Chain A
Amino acid sequence: MKTVIVGYGYMGQIRKQVVDTMPGLKLCGICDPFLVPGLIPVDTAHYQDYRDAIDDVRPDVVFVCTPNRYTPDVCIYALEQGCHVFCEKPPGRNLSDIQRIIEVEGKHPHLKLMFGFNHRHHPAIVEAKSFVDAGRLGRILWMRGVYGKSGGKDREFEGSWRNDLTISGGGILLDQGIHILDLFRFFCGEFHEVYGFLSTAYWNVSVEDNAFVILRNEQGQVAQLHSSATLWKHTFRLEIGLERGYLIVEGLLSKTGSYGREKLIIGRKPGDDEHGAVGNPREEIVYFDKDLSWDVQVQELVTCITHDLPVTDSSSLDALRVMEMVDAVYRQAKLRSAAASVPIRERRLP
């Protein structure tokens, strides 16, 4: 299938590596208005305008790896031109962006649309899901996630499009925290109550650099997220508390390795005959050395296209639901801001 990548920055280049090794896909064009000459693949047509790329190549599949502001327009144009679409997360800047995409998707039911919630396919997450689904540790009681980075060099980070509200639509919650929100849904299903606090605690940017979100679903499962751009040590940690044990995913296989070696810690609630182990159960730690998440997701899309199967993993519905969570937090933040945030002590005065 002829493939075009729109947006050839960090993510676009990762996607190229996947496309190059994926049977069934052939990279026929890339598009980026700011293409770096040395990075342009040999023998691949390149464009500055996504419409030219799609009109000229007439691809079967389009990978959308653009900054958030351009994501919905590129997705919609590709769908309207009859292309299957793989779109990076987030699916735009806000809820209305994904709603627009879904509206057009609905008019082209034969086309496949998938979003890049690749963390579902990280090996430690896959392993944890297997434990949860098998039910040997009982049902999930709660989840807690921390996902954060240090930002980077001051000027570089503050000048990034990711921190320009008009382009990104949000800060660290929309950029990274969205993965953990997706994982909460992946493990626990829908959440109906969402509460959040945002702060721009350190960086001189127009978006939040920290987000604290707490959610609850109809089964009473509570999940808590801290998403941060001020974690000076890069951190990924997802904890799952279950009736008969716990699972902790820590570290994340990544290009730079800065999140640490990916591992899954499995703890089992000690049995009644293990008095000495109460509060300090034996643990197993599973270390992983290969991240296939990028390939697995794209392979899934190719399978859906080839066999005309519905996209059930990282679908537009998944994207919509997670954007509803993000939107709820952003709306609450705006309301609080409008109420001019009164210190707690002052409010308690009669």
Chain B
Amino acid sequence: MKTVVIDRDLLELEIKPYAKLEEYRRLTEEDVRGRLLTAGEFTPCPCPGCRSTASRVVFEKSGMAYLECDHCRSVYVSPRPLEEALVDFYRNSRSARFWREQILPETKETRRAKVFRPRAQWVLNVLDRYRPGARLGIVVGYHNGLLVEELARQESHLFHMIVTNAIADIEFRGSELPNVTIRPTSASALPSLGPADIFLAFDIVDRCADVEALVAAAQATLAPGGLLLASTISISGFDLQVLWDRSESIYPPERLNLLSTEGLIALFERHGFETLEFSTPGVLDVEAVQRVIHKQPEAPWPRFIRYVVEKRDEDAMNGLQEYLQKYRLSSFARMVLRKPR
């Protein structure tokens, strides 16, 4: 297994303008309480990482309970809304529209240059290394437009991609990319699109209602030796561990599953995947901790953490972030997994 450290100059502000983000969070809270909580059925679930049922409530956000697994220490929402309610939320809620229409356009070029261009480079490097000659890719998860564009731009003979998320028709409206098919597809129907060489599941594990079904679908969709590339927010990361319930990154419904490193490994190994890479190349942990401690100085922060982020300079902050990446302790995790040949 390998792990990757990335030296990247990205500030959270560049991809999440704070004023608009505050408004987005306010709308999300309203939508969750007014739309999701009243939408009907909620279902309890075991730990999405290790499937243990031994857990306890550790905090609550927007009326939903977050549980911590006693076994692998993943944190997850249970009971939780069904996938259909989430699709409705992402298609029709005011907060989702605000994200698509206000935040994404404003940050588009920064996201392209600093997030999606390097991610596309990484995808292509992974294919060069483990699956040269890939012909078919399946893309699940939301907001992958820039990634798909960058892949097409960087590789003229790109493999065919099928973008499957439930709102792909909205996200890709008006865009015509060669070798890209838009086909919203439920997880259970994904295998009918295969066999695929690569399955891209970016920023979806943390927000999908049924992780087990998603990973099982990836397994069934991939050809033998095919690759699953996934990214997610992980509770093992520095900012989430320090900030915990005060973290601004933890809110429903986008963060239903905050798997620990151990939970993520258990999840993918349970479905027979071999882990080729497990990295936490996040760049925003220290900045997030710094910002929240500054906003809530009265909270009982660990003395050492408070001292470091208040008294040390940018170089020390960068060094700390690099350390977190090197030892897989950032909260942004990415993985390369291979289905057995």
A: residues with CB less than 8 A from B are: 123, 127, 130-131, 133-134, 136, 282-290
| Chain A residue at minimal CB-CB distance from B3 | A287
Tell whether, in the assembled complex, residue A134 and residue B5 are in contact, meaning their CB atoms are under 8 Å apart. Answer: no
Interface centre among B6, B9, B124 (most CB of A within 10 A): B6
B residues 1-31 near A (Cβ < 8 Å) are: 1-9
How many Å lie between the Cα of A127 and that of B9 in the bound state? 25
Query: Could you say which of B1, B4, B9, B128 contacts A136, with CB atoms under 8 Å apart?
Result: B128
Question: Residue of A at shortest CB range from B327?
Answer: A287
Answer whether residue B312 sits at the interface, using C-beta atoms and an 8 A cutoff. Answer: no
Q: B341 interface residue, CB < 8 Å from A?
A: no
Q: Among the listed B5, B124, B129, B326, which residue makes an inter-chain contact with A127, where contact means beta carbons less than 8 Å apart?
A: B129
Partner of B7, one of A130, A136, A283: A283
Q: Are B125 and A287 in contact (CB under 8 A)?
A: no
Q: Which of A136, A283, A289 contacts B125 (CB 8 A)?
A: A136
Identify which of A134, A136, A283, A284 gathers the most chain B CB atoms within 10 Å of its CB. Answer: A284
B5 touches A287 (CB 8 A): yes
User: Are A130 and B129 in contact, CB atoms less than 8 angstroms apart?
Assistant: yes
* Assembly CA distance A14 to B7 (angstroms): 37
Residues on A with beta carbons closer than 8 Å to the beta carbon of B124: 134, 136
CB pair A282 B128 closer than 8 Å? no
Q: How many B residues are at the interface, by size bracket? A: 10 to 19
| A288-B5 Cα distance, complex, nearest whole Å | 11
Count, A-B residue pairs, CB within 8 A: 46
Interchain CB contact under 8 A, B1 and A284: no
CA distance in complex: A131, B326 (Å): 21
Given A136-B124, A282-B8, A284-B7, answer yes or no on A289-B1 (Cβ-Cβ < 8 Å): yes
Closest B residue to A267 using CB positions: B7
Chain B residues in contact with chain A, CB under 8 A? Answer: 1-9, 124-125, 128-129, 132, 326
A-B pairs with beta carbons under 8 Å apart, 19 shown? A127-B2, A130-B129, A131-B125, A134-B132, A136-B125, A282-B7, A283-B6, A283-B7, A284-B4, A284-B7, A285-B7, A286-B3, A286-B4, A286-B5, A287-B2, A287-B4, A288-B2, A289-B3, A290-B1
Name the CB-closest residue of B to A268.
B121
If A127-B129, A130-B129, A136-B128 touch, whether A285 touches B4 (CB-CB below 8 Å) is yes
Residue of B nearest to A129 (CB): B129
- Taken together as a complex, chains A and B put the C-alpha atoms of A288 and B129 apart, in Å, by 15
Contacts of A289 in B (CB 8 A): 1-3
The residues of A that contact B5 with a CB separation of less than 8 Å are 284-287
Distance of B2 from chain A, by nearest CB (Å): 5
User: Inside 8 A of A284's CB, which chain B residues have their CB?
Assistant: 4-7
Task: Compute how far the CA of A131 lies from the CA of B125 in the bound complex, rounded to whole angstroms.
Answer: 7
Q: CA separation between A130 and B336, bound complex, in Å?
A: 16
Report the minimal beta-carbon distance from B134 to chain A, rounded to whole angstroms.
Answer: 12
How far apart are the CA atoms of A283 and B118 in the complex, in Å? Answer: 11
**C-alpha spacing A288/B2, complex, angstroms:** 5
Q: B200 CB to closest chain A CB, in angstroms?
A: 19
Closest to B5 in A: A285
Query: Given the complex of chains A and B, what is the CA–CA distance between A127 and B2 in angstroms?
Result: 10
Q: Which residue of A has the minimal Cβ distance to B278?
A: A289
B125 to chain A: which residues have CB within 8 Å? 130-131, 134, 136
- Alpha-carbon distance A289/B132, docked complex (angstroms): 24
Contacts of B6 in A (CB 8 A): 282-285
In the A-B complex, the 8 residue pairs with the closest CB atoms: A134-B128, A285-B5, A130-B129, A287-B3, A283-B7, A288-B2, A286-B4, A284-B6
Tell me, rounded to whole Å, the shortest Cβ–Cβ distance linking B74 to chain A.
23
Bound-complex Cα distance A123 to B5 (A): 16
C-alpha spacing A133/B129, complex, angstroms:
9
CA distance A319 to B8 in the complex (A): 42
Q: Please, which residues of chain B bring their CB within 8 A of the CB of A127?
A: 2, 129
User: Which residues does chain B contribute within 8 Å of A136, judged by CB atoms?
Assistant: 124-125, 128
